[in-house]
């Protein structure tokens, strides 16, 4: 539904150049909620602004719903007719709502309909319909200043739906909201996706947002996508940084000479008693150092950090057994015999003398 090929964006200011996007290949399938996460400055907003051509990419292509937007003429406010029409079919939700304070809620939703050329009566009818869709039918006459943050964002979403878009883009739509309101706005996005058959590309820096609504996710670093896939795929990828951030597990070895392994459970494996099987089959004592269980897209997933006695070489067979059971296994670390005993019990792995074994 959304494809970018080798997308680059270089901002040129008087004295320097900033490469905000450095060869981004993104693929968002129809009907999914796709989350892009990354640190501040990673290029997330640049990506989303290039996807709807608010910003003209320096090179590369953007295709939305089969139409190559980068082939259409114009730029920003001077977009040509075709580009304007294409952009009308892409809804955009902003972090700071961008509502006009002088207009009522109804007036704010009518504005894009005005721009799209709907007549007065039709405009009002459609705006009421959209407000109903986002659960704000009773607030049509209110002014933005009289709304809570969550309600303002609902208006923002209603406005984004004015052009009957197939694609909704959202840049940090919930980062100005408290956790409870965030949940309800995310639920609304998910409901709208189902009801209207939308494809949603959202930018966030909150892993909880990804967990709550995303089918797929990508990690951005320095203008590049370093990982991407469906959430189950990411969880099944050894060494996935996104998986680790989605389900952080802490815990340091209890003593030197032990092997620490991060095990990811997903799909069928969540209900299998694999740990007790492992213990019985190989007669090993297993300590659980940390664990996190959650539900993602209606499915149970979890990660567990366990400790096995002995070195990595001693544990090749038990680790192989876990992999055979369909689990994703990352050797988190091996405690060195010569590691200084720092006495730390928090997750400061490096301080506790952990050696990265590398994802295998």
Ligand X SMILES: Nc1ncnc2c1ncn2[C@@H]1O[C@H](COP(=O)(O)OP(=O)(O)OP(=O)(O)O)[C@@H](O)[C@H]1O
Binding-site partner at residue 41 among ligand X, Mg ion, none, CB < 5 to 8 Å by type: ligand X
Site for ligand X contains 38 (CB under 6 A): yes
Q: What's the half-sphere exposure (Cβ side, CA atoms, 13 Å) at 286?
A: 22
Binding-site partner at residue 213 among ligand X, Mg ion, none, CB < 5 to 8 Å by type: none
Indicate the SS3 state at residue 144.
Answer: helix
Rank residues 45 and 52 by Cβ distance to ligand X and give the closer one. 45
341 class by beta-carbon count within 10 Å (0-12 exposed, 13-18 middle, 19+ buried): exposed
Rank residues 13 and 101 by Cβ distance to ligand X and give the closer one. 13
Question: In angstroms, rounded to a whole number, what is the distance separating the alpha carbons of residues 241 and 231?
Answer: 12
Angle formed by the axes of helices 274-282 and 316-324, to 10°?
A: 140
The two three-digit tokens of residue 270, written as one number: 């969540």
Site for Mg ion contains 104 (CB under 5 A): no
Nearest approach, Cβ of 2 to ligand X (angstroms)?
A: 17
- φ and ψ at 168, to 5 degrees? -120, 130
Rank residues 162 and 210 by Cβ distance to ligand X and give the closer one. 210
Looking only at the bridges linking them, the beta strands covering 216-221 and 17-28 are: unpaired
Site for Mg ion contains 216 (CB under 5 A): no
Question: In angstroms, rounded to a whole number, what is the distance separating the alpha carbons of residues 312 and 318?
Answer: 10
What does the buried/exposed string (b/e) look like for 71-82 if buried means 16 or more CB atoms within 10 Å of the residue's CB?
A: ebeeeeeebeee
Q: Which of 1, 2, 7, 20 binds ligand X (CB under 6 A)?
A: 20
Rank residues 42 and 200 by Cβ distance to ligand X and give the closer one. 42
Rank residues 5 and 224 by Cβ distance to ligand X and give the closer one. 224
118 class by beta-carbon count within 10 Å (0-12 exposed, 13-18 middle, 19+ buried): middle
Nearest approach, Cβ of 66 to ligand X (angstroms)?
A: 26
Kindly indicate which of the ranges 10-18, 177-185, 210-218, 351-359 contains the residues binding ligand X, using the contact rule CB under 6 A: 10-18
Question: In angstroms, rounded to a whole number, what is the distance separating the alpha carbons of residues 112 and 121?
Answer: 14
Residue 255 DSSP one-character state: S
Q: In what order do the strands lie in the sheet with 354-355?
A: 287-296, 299-309, 258-266, 328-335, 354-355
Site for ligand X contains 226 (CB under 6 A): no
Site string for ligand X, 160-199 (x = CB under 6 A): ----------------------------------------
Nearest approach, Cβ of 56 to Mg ion (angstroms)?
A: 18
Kindly indicate which of the ranges 13-21, 43-51, 132-140, 258-266 contains the residues binding Mg ion, using the contact rule CB under 5 A: 43-51
Rank residues 4 and 45 by Cβ distance to ligand X and give the closer one. 45
Rank residues 192 and 220 by Cβ distance to ligand X and give the closer one. 220
Kindly indicate which of the ranges 37-45, 124-132, 156-164, 245-253 contains the residues binding Mg ion, using the contact rule CB under 5 A: 37-45
Looking only at the bridges linking them, the beta strands covering 199-204 and 17-28 are: unpaired
Question: In angstroms, rounded to a whole number, what is the distance separating the alpha carbons of residues 17 and 278?
Answer: 55
Q: Which of 20, 34, 38, 45 binds Mg ion (CB under 5 A)?
A: 45
Site string for ligand X, 41-80 (x = CB under 6 A): xxxxxx----------------------------------
The two three-digit tokens of residue 217, written as one number: 């996710």
Contacts with Mg ion by CB under 5 A lie at: 45
Binding positions for ligand X, rule: CB under 6 A? 11, 13, 18, 20, 38, 40-46, 205
């Amino acid at each position: 539904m959304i494809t970018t090929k080798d997308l680059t964006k270089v901002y040129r200011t008087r004295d320097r150049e900033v490469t905000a996007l450095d060869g981004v290949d993104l693929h968002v399938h129809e009907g999914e909620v796709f989350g892009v996460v990354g640190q501040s400055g990673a290029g997330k907003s640049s990506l989303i602004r290039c996807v709807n051509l608010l910003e003209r990419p320096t090179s590369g292509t953007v295709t939305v719903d089969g139409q190559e937007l980068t082939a259409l003429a114009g730029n920003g406010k001077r977009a040509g007719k075709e580009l304007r029409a294409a952009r009308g079919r892409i809804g955009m939700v902003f972090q700071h709502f961008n509502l006009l304070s002088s207009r009522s809620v109804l007036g704010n939703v009518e504005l894009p309909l005005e721009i799209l050329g709907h007549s007065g009566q039709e405009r009002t009818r459609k705006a009421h319909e959209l407000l109903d869709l986002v659960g704000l039918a009773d607030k049509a006459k209110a002014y933005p200043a009289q709304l809570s943050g969550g309600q303002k964002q609902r208006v923002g979403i209603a406005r984004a739906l004015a052009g009957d878009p197939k694609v909704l883009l959202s840049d940090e739509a919930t980062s100005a909201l408290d956790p409870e309101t965030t949940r309800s706005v995310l639920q609304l996005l998910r409901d709208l996706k189902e009801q209207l058959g939308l494809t949603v590309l959202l930018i966030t820096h909150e892993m909880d947002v990804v967990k709550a609504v995303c089918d797929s996710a990508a990690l951005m670093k320095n203008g590049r996508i370093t990982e991407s896939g469906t959430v189950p795929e990411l969880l099944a990828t050894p060494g996935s940084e996104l998986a680790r951030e989605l389900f952080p597990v802490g815990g340091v070895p209890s003593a030197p000479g032990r092997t620490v392994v991060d095990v990811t459970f997903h799909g069928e494996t969540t209900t299998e008693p694999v740990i007790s099987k492992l213990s019985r089959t190989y007669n090993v004592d297993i300590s659980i150092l940390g664990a996190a269980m959650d539900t993602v897209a209606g499915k149970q997933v979890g990660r567990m950090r366990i400790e096995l006695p002995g070195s990595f070489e001693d544990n090749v067979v038990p680790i192989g057994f876990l992999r055979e059971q369909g689990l994703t296994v990352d050797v988190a670390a091996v405690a060195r015999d010569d590691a200084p005993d720092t006495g730390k019990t928090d997750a400061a792995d490096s301080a506790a003398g952990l050696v990265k074994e590398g994802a295998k």
